[in-house]
Structure 1
């Protein structure tokens, strides 16, 4: 569990610098340059991911049950993660209604993904992993939305054709992950 927590501290910590220390971040970018900042950010992010994944895998060997999710939560989780994938894709396709309505569809998608996994997983390592991501995403969402309001950000008009692209790509990515990659990478096949 310690490696999982260390990985989360590094990954979430790096991704929270802009939230808790925006002036310091700006000073470091000014001091070292944007390329050096991105490089350090990438290295620490990868380190955090590797430690989180490794620590999660180790902690799954000796699970500590906290609660037993009812069988039907797996179905809700599947639906919510499909929605989360669509939201995440919406962050990268300009001119769609989700981006216009949510402002931060990527972070919103992470929050939905984490919440969905909390519903269907009841071990301590699952709760730690997904609760940390959920809390971080909710804080990040609030901060980013406030920044957008203060900056007067207006998202471009949306087109239904762009919405269709978002939904098709999001559902395709979700299907590949749910039916194949989740089993390969995580060792659990949520949809059989």
Structure 2
């Protein structure tokens, strides 16, 4: 039998990993309704109303995200390392995250050509973010966390493209000003997060 301290450490690892996975299942599961149960979603909206659905959806998403982040943070206190990525990959991640931020902003700025061209820039941003972070994290919890988001983003993007083919949206006008503003805001948001917020919130410097 393992010593008590090793048994307690194993129990703590299992508990925190379970919390993280549970949170991911709740958060990504809620965001997967449109992928796997669009007709059920539409029925719920028809029966309960758009506002009630959005409220319930938001509450479930926030609860799941909070549990996932808490569990993920706890796993980093006692990590299980599967491999040790070379430091040079951090430069690749820093480069990949710049277009990810621009695509994220493009999902919200009206009339920009990036969204008109890509269709679903938010999901593409999540893809890049998750893939980039898989490159530089060798802990088991990191791999599970970012792989879950990557798989979800791939499936969500595919489902969204299929819906767009079935129900084509009317062409939207774009402007150079909106596109330039999207890029500028994305670059500023990237710099702010990379140089200031990432070290404070995540505890890991992007550069240096």
Partner of 1:82: 98
TM-score, with normalisation over the residues of structure 1?
A: 0.96
Matched, 1:47 2:49: no
Partner of 1:72: 88
The 1-side partners of 2:174 and 2:96 are apart by 23
The 2-side partners of 1:91 and 1:20 are apart by 23
Matched, 1:99 2:79: no
RMSD: 1.2
After TM superposition, list the pairs within 5 Å mapping 1:9-158 onto structure 2.
9-158=25-174
Q: CA deviation at 1:190?
A: 1.6
Question: Please, which runs of 5 or more residues in structure 1 have no aligned partner?
Answer: none
Q: CA deviation at 1:77?
A: 0.5
The 1-side partners of 2:21 and 2:42 are apart by 27
Question: Please, which runs of 5 or more residues in structure 2 have no aligned partner?
Answer: 1-16
The 2-side partners of 1:188 and 1:3 are apart by 22
Give the 3-state SS of the residue equivalent to 1:190 in structure 2: coil
After TM superposition, list the pairs within 5 Å mapping 1:169-188 onto structure 2.
169-188=185-204
CA contact (8 A) 1:17 1:25 kept: yes
The 1-side partners of 2:71 and 2:204 are apart by 16
TM-score, with normalisation over the residues of structure 2?
A: 0.89
Give the 3-state SS of the residue equivalent to 2:31 in structure 1: helix
The 2-side partners of 1:88 and 1:47 are apart by 23
Q: Deviation digits for residues 120-170 of structure 1, max 9, x if unmatched?
A: 111111101110000100110011011111112244243322221111101
Give the 3-state SS of the residue equivalent to 2:174 in structure 1: coil
Q: Which has the larger radius of gyration?
A: 2
CA contact (8 A) 1:82 1:171 kept: yes
The 2-side partners of 1:134 and 1:49 are apart by 16
CA contact (8 A) 1:99 1:155 kept: no
CA contact (8 A) 1:103 1:155 kept: no
